[in-house]
A and B are shown apart, each in its own frame.
Chain A
């Protein structure tokens, strides 16, 4: 059982017994002949490729349209397990939004001395252009992706929050579609809560934050950087499921107090923009003069209440890795509640004592760049050789404020198909919480799995795959 040099929790097992939630799946995989399995695996790949679910990787040679490997063995949560996650995620999404509303307003949490001011206002993601403007319903982050890992039957940790434009929800939806199509029997043997309400909820959430100047049914659009973006498929998939236009910057223009899209019948007013572009590419007049992706003048329309932008410009300050440490504090401060989900203990290298500890214990820590993402620019101490540890130590000494460190967690594993049958592989979980005039969460999320034996890195760019994620109905 021990492949990473330490023991870990196998979600299928309780000691040597198969847990009730996994019994039918255990039977299913045992009864499946090898030929059928490879046939189904092939069928799944064909389905993904035919509907065009690929992620684009440009500039690395090879096929620019790659498939994320799909593992057919589902991951299962019981109803009770999910209930706790559900409460914890909603709580976190509420606190993160309260924090954003506060730091762009009076900054009470800073005045109260609960979060150091420089972490907020010196943060790259802190948007001065957003100060003093309250977006509709006071919501900044409308889709909050909370990345969770598990280390034991009852022990979950939040690894990070994603308040800007978390991606991957299309895989949550498609993984389910494909499993239902290939193995309908499993869905009769297990009562699995559906996730297909997500697009409707997303549209409802976006419509609920239409600007005040919008009368009547709001026009919602998704703003994409275009077909060469790695998540382009997801953008078009969501637009299709919601029945809204998928626009690029060049499709939009500002005139007077409003934003319009260019249509075959002339200009049409746009009320809510679900943007899948970074802040820097929203408006070249306000952010980056060299941006070809933005819409000149959009920020001033936004600030005068002519259009809503989701997530709100500046929302990124809440999901920064340096701010992450303070989320439990936010929950206590704004909601007056005890945090339901725990943070991973984190050392901040900006703090000299922490930095000293980190440098002395690099071989057993995971070190991340404060602004990094995608699993790049990180050090996994127990997996690194001496020279790369030393190289990383030099980088930390040069710019300690750029790094945080966490203990190497013994991530849980779930059964995953491998050549010889099934084997435990490490997983994480990203549920997608929607925040508008109410907070909504579909029962499920995206499970990413590190397909390489012993690996803890689940990112698709580095050998990660995906799985269908079940929440059993009550």
Chain B
């Protein structure tokens, strides 16, 4: 297929995943603002949320104060913020619109409908839209598009480039979400315990739709290392770093099979997978969770770069 077509499919799915992550971040911030803080008053994680979304400086220069309403606007509707839900859905749709021929009408329809609905919401009275409604709507819209893709797209190279886009972005986004709250999971607080601390990681798990599934996966008291293990190394949890990297590998292997040969993209993905598969959670804490997450995001970005170089530029590698 045309390199440009593959490129648009890849980025369509990356933006879709990013929209979902921004909505999840918004949910994290809104929930934690409802929690009393140990030092009195209420907690304020908005700064961390904005930093994770990569737009903290832009936000400060545009709005100044970290007031919740401003942050809602910034993260959801602001078209000058490239990570806002609206920007991401619009970018996903724009990528899709250019390659309509490579998408089934069901997939296009799901994405285009989401975009039209979002434009409609933009015109609604803001007080009628709660943060939870907004983030739930976003997740549902993303599920619909991925569902339509999964149910109707031919399992060809294009489908696998879409898959690589989703899994690379997801790996990056899970690492980013984790990094917002990495300090909650530091070993010094080895017993997560009860009370106010507990609510911190519950919020994080909830934002990843994992607050119940974590209980199905581990027995006994929840510890920070169990939670870190779940979000990073659990093969059953679909948003864990290992799961996401595994999927990147699966889709790239499928592309290599379809084309009859592998490239440096497969090599890079395999080496990252190999490293993760060997890791134990203690190793991660030894390295430092924050340091590990940053190193992971860099390596994951390298895989994305290889995919660009080997397939999306149209020059034989």
Contacts and interface: CB of A to CB of B under 8 A. Distances in A.
B146 to A, nearest CB: 19
Contacts of B316: 266-267
Contacts of B312: 264
Interface stretch (B81-89, B97-105, B183-191, B217-225): B97-105
B216 to A, nearest CB: 40
Contact of A262 (B98, B109, B255, B314): B314
A247 B97 contact: no
B315 A52 contact: no
| Contact residues of A: prevailing secondary structure | mixed
Per DSSP, are chain B's interface residues mostly helix, strand or loop, or mixed? Answer: helix
Interface residues of B, number: 28
B108 interface: yes
Given A52-B97, A227-B98, A264 B105 contact: no
Nearest to A226: B98
A264 B311 contact: yes
Contact of A251 (B100, B259, B314): B314
Contacts of A247: 2, 4
A227 B101 contact: no
A466 B106 CA distance: 26
B157 A264 contact: yes
Contacts of B2: 245, 247, 251, 261-264
Interface string A240-276: 1000011110110000000001111111000000000
A239 interface: yes
Contacts of A50: 109, 112-113
Contacts of B116: 49
Given A49-B116, A265-B259, A236 B3 contact: no
A1 interface: no
A51 interface: yes
Contacts of B157: 264
A237 B255 CA distance: 27
Contact of A248 (B4, B109, B311): B4
A261 B5 CA distance: 12
A387 to B, nearest CB: 41
Interface residues of A, number: 23
Contacts of B94: 227
A362 to B, nearest CB: 45
A117 B97 CA distance: 46
B97 A227 contact: yes
Contacts of B109: 50-51
Given A264-B157, A266-B316, A239 B101 contact: yes
A52 B108 contact: yes
A76 to B, nearest CB: 30
Contacts of A264: 1-3, 6, 157, 161, 255, 259, 311-312, 314
Contacts of A262: 2-4, 313-315
A247 B3 CA distance: 10
A263 B105 contact: no
Nearest to B157: A264
A263 B1 CA distance: 5
Contacts of B100: 52, 236-237, 240
A50 B114 CA distance: 11
Contacts of B3: 251, 262-264
6 contacts: A52-B97, A226-B98, A227-B97, A237-B100, A262-B314, A264-B314
Q: 3 tightest CB-CB pairs across the interface, nearest first?
A: A262-B314, A266-B316, A240-B101
Interface of A: 49-52, 226-227, 236-237, 239-240, 245-248, 250-251, 261-267
Given A264-B2, A264-B6, A265-B259, 7 more contacts: A50-B113, A51-B108, A236-B99, A246-B101, A261-B2, A264-B157, A264-B311
